[in-house]
């Protein structure tokens, strides 16, 4: 009897690869294997990350595929409807990224507020900076508005309270009224209320038809002139043209984006945005810590093996 084939289409940490290699019940086809292009015909299971898109056409061409397991939370790169029609299980790794993405969120907030990256660029460019002319902002006891208080947003809230002793405003229309009883916060039902009051606005929502361009021109108009916008969620949640205008007109203090509509972000894709000193762009690396990559990769492997053995998993989406 042939062993089920697990195809790995994206980079995974070597520890996760070792775990699969040590599993005698499956055959592993790695991304650098010449056979990897045959996954539609031969794969019983797929391991992917955000780099690979699985379209309806891909899924319709499969003949043996039982499951797709993605490292990370967002699954907008997988056609879930097509997978459901074919009875293919789709899973992610929820909550695994929470600590690492929350860490980056806090780090970016501080870097924008204290103009860390801007100063570094200017010094490297040969400028002699006059300290009295380049004031940053303190985040101590400031208010953070968290849009989407799920696994990541709630961790950001706890870290903010611990580090900044600041207040939390939460906007999440999908969470129950009893959510986050252990976090001191004020919940609002209107996003505009959060935008008007928050010193830092941080986004932790999936990209859907409802969240696309969630933050646009009118939203920037409502924010404080010294506010900071953070997006460590998904590209497309922020209207990037509106953001450029807000930064150019100094309608907000600054912004940091770990998620862009064009990824990886390049100077060719973003010639104007990358000229803004009050903007930091990182290449969607919120989950990229050594510890998290090992743990998340292992979780993907465990989920794949469970599904191939016919066991139920709690992180199944379809």
DSSP string, 201-219: EEE-----TTTTT-B-HHH
Structural tokens at position 279: 């903007």
Phi, psi of 317 (to 5 degrees): -95, -40
- Bridge partners (DSSP) of residue 238 are 215
Cα distance between residue 161 and residue 158, in whole Å: 5
Cα distance between residue 114 and residue 106, in whole Å: 12
Q: Does the CA dihedral 304-262-119-194 come out positive or negative?
A: negative
Cα dist. 58→88, 146, 186, 222 in Å?
Answer: 12, 36, 45, 43
Cα distance between residue 93 and residue 143, in whole Å: 30
- Pair 283, 263: CB distance under 8 Å: yes
Helix, coil or strand: residue 77: coil
Q: Which residue, 118, 95, 53, 78, is CA-closest to 263? A: 53
Structural tokens at position 126: 């040969």
Farthest-apart Cα atoms in the chain, separation = 75
Residues with a catalytic annotation lie at 234, 263, 284
Neighbours of 184 (CB within 10 A): 11
Q: H or E element: which one contains 28?
A: strand 27-29
Quickly tell me which residue has 């303190």 as its tokens: 138
């Amino acid at each position: 009897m042939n062993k089920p084939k697990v195809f790995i289409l994206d980079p995974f940490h070597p520890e996760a690869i070792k775990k699969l290699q040590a599993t005698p019940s499956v055959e592993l086809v790695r991304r650098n294997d010449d056979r990897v292009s045959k996954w539609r015909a031969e794969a019983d299971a797929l391991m992917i990350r955000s780099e690979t898109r699985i379209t309806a056409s891909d899924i319709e061409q499969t003949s043996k595929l039982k499951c797709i397991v993605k490292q990370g939370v967002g699954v907008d790169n997988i056609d879930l409807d097509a997978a459901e029609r074919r009875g293919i299980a789709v899973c992610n790794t929820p909550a695994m990224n929470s600590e690492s993405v929350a860490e980056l969120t806090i780090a970016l907030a501080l870097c924008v507020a204290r103009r860390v990256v801007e100063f570094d660029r200017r010094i490297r460019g040969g400028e002699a900076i006059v300290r009295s002319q380049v004031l940053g902002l303190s985040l101590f006891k400031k208010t953070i508005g968290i849009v989407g208080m799920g696994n990541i947003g709630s961790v950001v809230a706890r870290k903010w309270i611990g580090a900044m002793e600041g207040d939390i405003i939460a906007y999440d229309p999908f969470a129950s009224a009893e959510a986050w009883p252990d976090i001191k916060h004020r919940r609002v039902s209107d996003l505009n209320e959060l935008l008007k009051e928050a010193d830092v606005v941080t986004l932790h929502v999936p990209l859907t038809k409802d969240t696309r361009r969630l933050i646009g021109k009118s939203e920037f108009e409502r924010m404080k002139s010294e506010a900071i916008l953070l997006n460590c969620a998904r590209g497309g949640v922020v209207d990037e043209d509106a953001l450029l205008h807000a930064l150019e007109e100094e309608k907000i203090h600054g912004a940091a984006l770990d998620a862009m509509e064009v990824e990886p972000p390049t100077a060719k894709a973003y010639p104007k945005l990358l000229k803004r000193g009050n903007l930091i762009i990182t290449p969607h690396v919120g989950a990229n810590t050594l510890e998290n990559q090992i743990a998340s990769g292992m979780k993907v492997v465990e989920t794949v093996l469970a599904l191939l053995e016919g066991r139920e998993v709690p992180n199944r989406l379809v």
